[in-house]
Amino acid sequence: MTSSNSSTASRSTFDTSTITPCLWFDGNAEEAARYYVSLLPDSRMDAVHRAPGDYPSGKAGDVLTVEFTLMGRPFLGLNGGPHFKFNEAISLMIPVETQAEVDRLSDALSAHPEAEQCGWVKDRYGLSWQIVPMRLMQLMGDSDGARARRVFNAMMEMKRIDIAAVERAAA
């Protein structure tokens, strides 16, 4: 991991061949990034950049941005202050294979159980995630329209996706 006193003097890990989502945090971008990388495979902290001067939501030396990778995809966390909050208009989807993965990630990421619906959870930073079993996606795309509809209807009643219940609905 690279750390510096100014974002211009630091080596950036940005890949210019792809889009990098920038996630706006209120002073806790590094904490959030470290938490996310601890949960997902092929994830790491790439760089922490400190502000070279005071800015509206912080002072010189504070963490300004954090570059990190989640499941092989680059992200940037920005400590932009309290001005903007995450909402459900954007979420990050995590594909999973097993119920154990559904449960582990849902338990780890859901800080607002009342916000859970159809596999969506909201974390302690306000970011929404979709914990999506690949089997659900396969069954919802089934060529048998009645089967896909039964699976969809079952999913719509769930907070956390239950793969066994999805399989029963498909039967």
Helical H segments across 82-122, by residue range: 99-109
3-state secondary structure of 43: coil
91-170: same fold as 2-79?
Answer: yes
pLDDT per residue over 27-50, tens digit each? Answer: 999 999 999 999 999 999 999 999
2-79 carries CATH number 3.40.50.10470? no
* CATH architecture, domain 91-170: Roll (3.10)
Structural domain boundaries of the chain?
A: 2-79, 91-170
CA distance 151 to 79: 40
Is the model's pLDDT at 13 over the cut of 80?
no
Query: What's the CA gap between 74 and 67, in Å, rounded?
Result: 7
* Beta-bridge partners for 3: 48
Q: What is the pTM of this model?
A: 0.89
